[in-house]
Structure 1
Amino acid sequence: MTPRSGRQLHIAASGYRATIASIGASLRTLTYDGRDLVVPFDADEVRPGYRGVTLAPWPNRIVDGRYVFAGVNHQLPLTEPERGQALHGLLAWAEFADRSVSDDRVVLVAVIEPQAGYPFRVEVEVEYRLGDDGLTQAVTARNLGGDSAPWGTGPHPYLVAGEGRVDDWTFTLPASEVFTVTPDRLSPVALEHVDVHPEWDFRNPRTIGDTLVDHAFTGLGRDGEGLAEARLQAEAGTRVAISWNEHCSWVQIHTADRPDRPDVHRIGLAVEPMTCAPDAFNSGAGLVVLDPGATHRASWRIRAL
């Protein structure tokens, strides 16, 4: 029987191994020389906490599930009912089909069909590739419909630096601005400089400790190739990094706080590069407008250091 997380696609190269689950085109496992770089989940497990899922056609939240696009009001299903938000897009539980499978690379594809709240047809192609430089994921959207469509994407890995938990790890994030949110619903409030919120300033490496983070960041510092990179280091010195290109101008960081579940409380740090801001369908911050026939591609890379 097919496992609860879907078909299992295994790739390997250069000391890296990854398993991709077909439901949600999810990164189920990623290891380097046998050590976890992301929090894994079992093949026959309903994927917990959006671990490794591909987020599309929007990452993060749309407040109240409502937005206006091209002068038309839309209402999405509230997939985060406890906060009254539309969370993480429409493909989290979609079955992706194989487009190409080899020893070190898989390409999966699904189509978002027109539906209540998102009356657009968009093909979503997800590529995972392993090499000396780690695991590269690329998401390509193609508008198959006759109307322009709002679009955003991103991944949802929970990074693992090594032994210990989030509190024990040192984090580096070259971001100068943070989006503050309401404490109850996590709705965006204001974009502020991290100088005003030193608890969320990780421009210089420091231990996360008991800091709670569930915020989007921007104002990203980039290298000569246009890449921004976040790094996580365990006390023993093992490290993991995720980098992303200029198509992702935002990143969501979440310390995965679950005090009601000691087994999963702060066992990984969610680092989610995003092409747009939270609630971008309303604010327009970073929102991509896909014209009929147009494509958009964004990518990011996870590697051991």
Structure 2
Amino acid sequence: MTRTEHEISFGPYTAVATTRGGALRELRHEGRDLVVGFAADGEIPDYRGVICAPWPNRLAGGRYSFEGKDYQAVVNEEQRGTALHGLVFGAVWELLEHTASSVRLGTRIEPGDGYPGRLDVSVDYELRADGLHSTVRARNVGVEAAPYGACPHPYLIAGPAPLDEWSVQIPATEFMEVSADRLLPEGMAGVEGHAFDFRTEKVLGSVQIDHAFTGLIPNADGLAAVRVHDPSGTGVELEWDATWPWLQIHTADKPSGPTRLGLAVEPMTCPPDAFNSGTDVLRLAPGESHEASWTIRALSR
């Protein structure tokens, strides 16, 4: 039987990657969960830990045009009429490489009615002393140019307290306003004076977020990071570089059942519905590649 689970470890860190969606299923530091996990079989709930490509977030009606041709992707978020999170989250990825502390998984996107390109997509997960370093790569192995965007989809866990009690720092000066019914872009707004202003760390409280942020504020190393702390002093950080100019934050609010289990922190190469707006969409010509990396690590006060 083909293995779907691949465990890695380094020092106090352990992780499990799965060939289902190329997803990060578990990440722990000294036995403490840093991400919301899911079962070893069955469907992946809420897109936890998957790789979203060749577009992140929502695509209105699943429709777009690229270089004079129209495409219709499958609408998989029926209640909002959108094509959500690309084409590879439901794929069974292939194991490409596995060591004690790292794993590489890969899949291929084929051209069709919903997408013009043939892409090889891979993700590396590597544990080091300072956390989990991940990289998603895409290479156009076809004969047609293709639009491209990506994001990881982890839900971070700061500690044992409820989400409302966690303190959060989000290094962003702007956010995308969205429609209440479909969560599609309606314009940009500054965070100054808004409930979404987390440039300085503060308690999240009852604030509900499912929005894209930009105007990211890098540190001296050119990196940006979302930091989340539990009142107990434990915490978690997701750090990324300038190849991701956008960031989706979701407080994981659910109308029924378990809600607000973690904070989704999703660096994005382009914003929601980018294949229609054109904002920050990458054009991969035949033979061209793109890669982008991020790191998740444990924090403590």
Which TM class, normalised by the smaller chain length?
over 0.9
Displacement after TM superposition at 1:259 (Å): 3.8
Aligned letter for 1:130? L
Aligned letter for 1:12? S
Provide the identity percentage: 47
Residue 82 of structure 2 corresponds to residue 85 of structure 1: yes
Residue 279 of structure 2 corresponds to residue 282 of structure 1: no
**5+ residue gaps, structure 1:** none
Equivalent residue runs for 1:218-233 within 5 Å: 218-233=214-229
Displacement after TM superposition at 1:60 (Å): 0.3
Residue 190 of structure 2 corresponds to residue 193 of structure 1: yes
Aligned letter for 2:214? T
Displacement after TM superposition at 1:137 (Å): 1.0
Equivalent residue runs for 1:2-81 within 5 Å: 7-81=4-78
d(CA) in 1 for partners of 2:256 and 2:104? 37
SS in 1 for 2:164: helix
* Number of the residue aligned with 1:245: 241
Displacement after TM superposition at 1:165 (Å): 2.1
CA deviations 1:47-85 (Å, max 9, x no partner) are 100000011101101111111111111111101011000
Residue 222 of structure 2 corresponds to residue 213 of structure 1: no
CA deviations 1:110-155 (Å, max 9, x no partner) are 1001121102100001110000120011011000111110000110
285, 290, 301: which one pairs with 1:291? 285
* Number of the residue aligned with 1:156: 153
* Structure-2-length-normalised TM-score: 0.97
Residue 260 of structure 2 corresponds to residue 266 of structure 1: yes
Aligned letter for 1:236? S
d(CA) in 1 for partners of 2:142 and 2:220? 37
Residue 148 of structure 2 corresponds to residue 129 of structure 1: no
* Number of the residue aligned with 1:112: 109
d(CA) in 2 for partners of 1:210 and 1:289? 39
**5+ residue gaps, structure 2:** none
Displacement after TM superposition at 1:224 (Å): 2.1
SS in 2 for 1:177: strand
User: Structure 1 runs of 4+ off > 3 angstroms?
Assistant: none
CA RMSD, 1 decimal: 1.1
* Structure-1-length-normalised TM-score: 0.96
Displacement after TM superposition at 1:179 (Å): 0.1
* Number of the residue aligned with 1:147: 144
8 Å CA contact retained: 2:116, 2:145 = no
Instruction: Report the more deviating stretch, 91-100 or 172-181.
Output: 91-100
SS in 1 for 2:47: coil
8 Å CA contact retained: 2:116, 2:144 = no
* Number of the residue aligned with 2:253: 257
SS in 2 for 1:40: coil
d(CA) in 2 for partners of 1:289 and 1:205? 36
Aligned letter for 1:89? G
163, 177, 181: which one pairs with 1:180? 177
Displacement after TM superposition at 1:45 (Å): 3.0
Aligned residues: 299
